Amino acid sequence: MERRMKKYLKFILNSNFRFKVLARNGFFKNMPDDIFLKKLYRIEMGKELNLLNPSTYNEKLQWLKLYDRRLSYIDLVDKYKVKEVVADTIGEQYIVPTLGVWDRFEDIEFDMLPNQFVLKCTHDSGSVVICRNKEEFDKNKARRSLSKALKHNFYYTSREWCYKDVPPRIIAEEYLEDLSSIADTVDYKFFFFNGRAEFIYISKGLENHDAAQISFYDLEGKELEFCRDDFHRLGDFTLPPNFPEMKKVAEKLYDICNAPFVRIDLYSINGKIYFSEFTFYPASGFLPFSPKAADEKLGELLDLTQIDKTSP
């Protein structure tokens, strides 16, 4: 009750928080995207958004939200449909097996699922529930979380347009357990600028935001100077032996979308590579760099001059 009261008071007293809550619930769905993004950018980044002459990495991602709207992106952010697209390109062996897909939580056939599995929504980012033991699985908690997510159109939160028309569903996937000495799942995220993988960031333990670690590296595994100021740094990290193959897989996956910018996420579990997702707008284009000068430096890597505007 006390926590709910604090949140209520914050909603009343903090206009920025109030805007984001209302936006998430679709109150501004009729607001033009450019006006909405200017308002949200001011809240998140503390400065005005320059759409006429964007120069920073984050500004350019906002510009891409508005003006690079190839319909092919829609299937690539659909966590169910994208598997077929990826399998046709690089093979089934890189796909995390799907155990089922449902429109409602109540339709999930739990008796047919193994003792360990992962549930996730197909139409958003971050709605994931992991079951490591069915006897200890809190089904009611999972129902509340995923059913709430199914009702939410992810587009409303930050105008990532390609999510707007993705059918809201739940998929179950095999739970992939890494038997190595690494306790937490490690993600390898390749940042492609105009067709070229410029660097990666490696994340560990993203299931728990407070304990998660993230660092940026060049393609040789050397940690870069900039970081995210909302996560602990991972620090020195040894790339897995199959990293050269991971890079080749990421490059083949890039050919699917051929986007001005995309982040391609992979896993390496027990020496085997798996596709995770395409991300066109990491952190929704509000990535908090440290030092802040990195935002401008990375913006130089992204050339928007050759892009044909496809905004409706």
- Check whether 290 has a pLDDT greater than 80: yes
Residues 163 and 77 sit within 8 Å (Cβ to Cβ): yes
Residues 285 and 261 sit within 8 Å (Cβ to Cβ): no
What percentage of the chain has pLDDT greater than the value 90?
78
- Sign for the CA dihedral angle at 297, 227, 276, 172 comes to negative
Query: Could you tell me which CATH class the domain 180-303 is placed in?
Result: alpha beta
Burial bucket for residue 127 (CB in 10 Å: 0-12, 13-18, 19+): buried
| Of residues 64, 82, 83, 61, the one with CA closest to residue 72 | 82
Torsion of CA 243, 250, 278, 171, to 10 degrees: -70
pLDDT of residue 205: 76
pLDDT of residue 231: 86
**Number of residues that make up the chain:** 312
Reported as a single tens digit per residue, the pLDDT across 4-47 is 788 778 888 888 889 988 988 889 999 999 999 999 999 999 99
- Who has greater pLDDT, 213 or 274? 274
| Of residues 253, 241, 243, 174, the one with CA closest to residue 202 | 243
Q: Which residues contact 78 (CB under 8 A, 6 or more apart)?
A: 122, 123, 166, 167
Amino acid at 102: W
pLDDT band of residue 280 (cuts 50, 70, 90) is: very high
Asked which of 61-70, 90-99, 173-182, 291-300 is least confident by mean pLDDT, the reply is 173-182
Q: Which residues contact 281 (CB under 8 A, 6 or more apart)?
A: 61, 64, 65, 158, 160
Phi-psi category of 258—alpha, beta or left, where left has phi over 0 and alpha has psi -120 to 50? left
Highest mean pLDDT range out of 60-69, 124-133, 198-207? 60-69
pLDDT band of residue 179 (cuts 50, 70, 90) is: low
Amino acid at 51: L
